[in-house]
Structure formats: C-alpha cells, structure tokens
Amino acid sequence: MRGWRSIAVVVLAVCGATLLFWLLVHQVSALWMDVALRADVRQALQQSVDDQKKLRVLDANGSAEYRRHFEETSRLLHRLDVLRMSREQMLQRFEVMLVGLFAVAASLIAMSIVVRGNRGRARERSQYLDRIADLQEIERRRAHETRGPLTAARLELERADDAIARGAPQQEIAAALGSVGDELERLSRLTHRQPSFAAIGAPVLRPTSLAEVVKEFCTTFANAWPNVALRFEGGEARVCADRDLVRQVLVNLCTNSAMAIAEKGSVTFTIARNALDVADTGSGIPESLRARVFDPYVTTRRIGEGTGLGLAISRKIMLEHGGDLQLAGSTTSGTTFRLTFGEMDCN
C-alpha cells in the first residue's frame, strides 16, 4: 500500500512538473517563433521586392542587378512563408520533443529518489534490528551475571537450612551462611561495577596541562594492568579539561587495551596540538564493529567480562569537553583512539 502511494506521488509529481515545463516551453517557443515570423519583417521584405520591380522600370540598365536582389529577397520571403505555414506543426513537434525529454529525465530522477529512499529505510531498519539485538545480548549477559551468584546463594541457603534441620555443628551453619554473604557481596559488586550514563557528572573545566595528566596517569596506573606497559611519548597541550573525567576515559581505554592484548603489550600516549593519541598493541577491533564501536552495549568480550558501555561513556565525556573521541585506526596489530579537546573558554 505504501509502495503504491509512493508510486502515485511520484507519477503525480512528474506529471505536474512536465505540465509546468510544457507551459513554459509553449510560451517560450511560441514567442521565439512569433519573433522570427513578425509581420513587419515580411512587410519590409515584400516592400523590397516591390521596390526592385519599380527600379527596373526607372533604371533599365541596372535591371540584372535589381533582378538578382529581387530573387534573393523573394527566396527569403518564400522561406519565411513556408515557416509561417508550418508554424503550428513545428511548435507541436518541438514541444513534444522537449517535453518528452523532460518527462524521461524527471522520471529517472524521481525513480532514483524513490530507490534511495527505500535503501535508506532498509538501512534504518537494519540498524534498528542490530540495536535491538545488542540490547537482547546485554540483557542476556546481565541475566547470566546475576543468575550465578543468586543460584550459589540459594544453594548455600539450602545447605544452611539442611544443616539447621539436622542439628549440624554451628561452624558448618556459619560457613554456609558466610558463603551466602559472599555471593550477595559478589552480586552487589557486580551491580556497582556496571557504569551508567546517569552517573557521569558534567565536566568541571579548568586550564590543564595534558602532559601532566598523562604523566600522572602513567605513574598511578603503572601496575593496574599486569600485561600492559604504559608509555608517554611526549608532547604538550594546554587544554580546558576535567582531570578526573579525562582519567576515567584513559582508564576505560586502557581496560579495553588490556583485554585486547593477549600476553604482553603496551599502550602509548602521544600529544600533538589539542589531541591525545592512545595506541595499543592489541589484536584490533573487528571491521564489522568499527562503525558501531561507540554505540552502547557493543562489545567483543565474553559474557561477564564487560557491559559495552565504556567507550560510549568515554565519548560522551569528550563531547562534553567540546572535543571528541574517535577511532583513529585499527589493525590486527593494534588500535589507536584519539581524544580531541575543543577550543573552549574554561570559564
């Protein structure tokens, strides 16, 4: 039904445009033809012909010359008469040809627009389905992550209940209840670990030395990821930034890098102008994920290893700095992210 409506709209649009074009062409071509066949032009030519005839009587010696002029003018007059008598036919044919060409061109353009629109809708549907699939995946992860501690806690409670029922030693009951507490603690840690967009505060921007932030980060987190060596290659930029939030971005990036580095590797920081490049020696991001890498809940990790919100949160932070976080490049031997800072007034 929607397709038929689109076709009807396109047909009506093409017909309307063609009709307007025909009206324009009709006016212009008729005007052009009427100018070419003006009555006063014919009268002037006719007068010239008559004059040549009169002149031969007055000047018999120049008769041959007058005749030559007469025949030239007569020929012109006859050609104009032929055109005048074919005026309507010529206009019709000319207009039909132009309007036909216009209609074909308009139809092609309209078809192209419709095809593009359909492709756009198909792409939009595909993207929507991808997002839904991502959400289903994260829900599955969350369910799996919470089910584990809950199941363990339930089993430990049953064990404690059984121990109480059969009058087991207090030590055994306490051990079972302790395990329940451990599982609940694990569940609590799990829910606190999941970052949320709502938890991100607005950046408090201050004039900041980017080199100082990176150096401090490299020192503080030197041993945070055992398989990753942090290196600062140098460079400096004075930017308006919130040190804590920038550090959170760097933590998120390095956490991802640590996951992507199989054994030992490094993360290198380089500052140039108002940008900070963060390059790792990991296995890279699959090409199919690169376009969606900043979408929430998009992750390459196994269930229980991450929620897929880190890059989304990091990008939001950088956008709020008036800059951006971009994927500068990714191959099977490493990935580089670029943090850019805007030209902002810190006040």
Catalog residues that contact other proteins under the rule CB under 8 A: 49, 53, 67, 70-71, 74-75, 77-79, 81-83, 85-86, 89-90, 92-94, 97
Q: Which residue, 74 or 336, is less far from other proteins as judged by CB?
A: 74
C-alpha–C-alpha distance, residues 34 and 40, integer Å: 11
Q: In whole angstroms, how close is the CB of 75 to other proteins at the nearest point? A: 7
Q: In whole angstroms, how close is the CB of 64 to other proteins at the nearest point? A: 11
Q: Which residue, 20 or 97, is less far from other proteins as judged by CB?
A: 97
Q: Which residue, 86 or 333, is less far from other proteins as judged by CB?
A: 86
Q: Which residue, 99 or 278, is less far from other proteins as judged by CB?
A: 99
Q: In whole angstroms, how close is the CB of 31 to other proteins at the nearest point? A: 16
The answer to whether the CB of 245 falls within 8 A of the CB of 207 is: no
Chain centroid, CA 186 distance in Å = 41
Q: In whole angstroms, how close is the CB of 43 to other proteins at the nearest point? A: 14
* Helix 63-85 vs helix 87-165: crossing angle, to nearest 10: 40
Q: In whole angstroms, how close is the CB of 14 to other proteins at the nearest point? A: 23
Q: In whole angstroms, how close is the CB of 19 to other proteins at the nearest point? A: 21
Contacts of 237 (CB under 8 A, 6+ apart): 209, 210, 211, 271, 272, 273, 274, 275, 276, 341
C-alpha–C-alpha distance, residues 26 and 31, integer Å: 8
Q: Which residue, 90 or 133, is less far from other proteins as judged by CB?
A: 90
C-alpha–C-alpha distance, residues 216 and 225, integer Å: 16
By residue count, the chain amounts to 347
Amino acid identity, position 210: L
Q: Which residue, 17 or 45, is less far from other proteins as judged by CB?
A: 45
C-alpha–C-alpha distance, residues 303 and 21, integer Å: 63
∠ CA(135), CA(261), CA(246), 5° rounding?
70
